[in-house]
Amino acid sequence: MPILVEPALPAGILSDKQQPRLKADDLVLRPWRAADAPIVKAAFDCPDIQRWHVRRLDTLEEAVEWTGQWPLRWAAEEAVSWAIVDDTDEPLGQVGLRSISLAEGAAGVSYWVLPDARGRGLAARAVAAMCGWAFGEVGLNRLENHHSTLNQASCRVAEMTGFPHEGTLRRAIKHADGWHDWHVHGRLSTDA
């Protein structure tokens, strides 16, 4: 069955290049490394991070697998993730795009920050830098942020980075404590 609409972005727009390093003020967004696995394991052990995820990491080997998945997902043009680092080059958090659709020119935004690095605006600065790349370099049309309506920190990051609240999906995600309503925030490439 023929498609009536041309894809928004051509295949290869990501996979034909290496994942870039991005600057975010005094921070750098860099690809994950296997050596980051202990920090990733510690992040996924954090009760605050676990509360908003649907998976956990139980072993260091699983954390190594987590860090190792990203080159394959980049090559498949389905997702990308960066470690948020400062001048120590140690991960302070994560920012990324999920469910990338080249046909639609859209993706979902994800982020988390380690407890010791919170309160410094890291997530907002990293999201802003990633959005600049996604809209400017890649040419995506729309980015979305979904989070539990109870996750006020995620809501603040979305609003601070130009993602207005567009609606609420009822009982849209199941976390360990049960069903949660989901806020939908969206940002377009044409937004200020």
Q: Which domains does the chain have, with CATH numbers?
A: 22-143 (3.40.630.30)
| 14-28 core/surface letters (b: 16 or more CB in 10 A; e: else) | beeeebeebebeebb
**Residue 34 contacts residue 70 (beta carbons within 8 Å):** no
| Residue 182 pLDDT | 96
35 — pLDDT class (breaks 50, 70, 90) = very high
Q: Contact 92/102 with Cβ under 8 angstroms?
A: no
The percent of residues in the chain predicted with pLDDT above 70, rounded, is 100
pLDDT band of residue 3 (cuts 50, 70, 90) is: confident
pLDDT at 192 over 80: no
Model pTM? 0.95
pLDDT in tens, 68-101: 999 999 999 999 999 999 999 999 999 999 999 9
Residues contacting 88, CB < 8 A, separation 6+: none
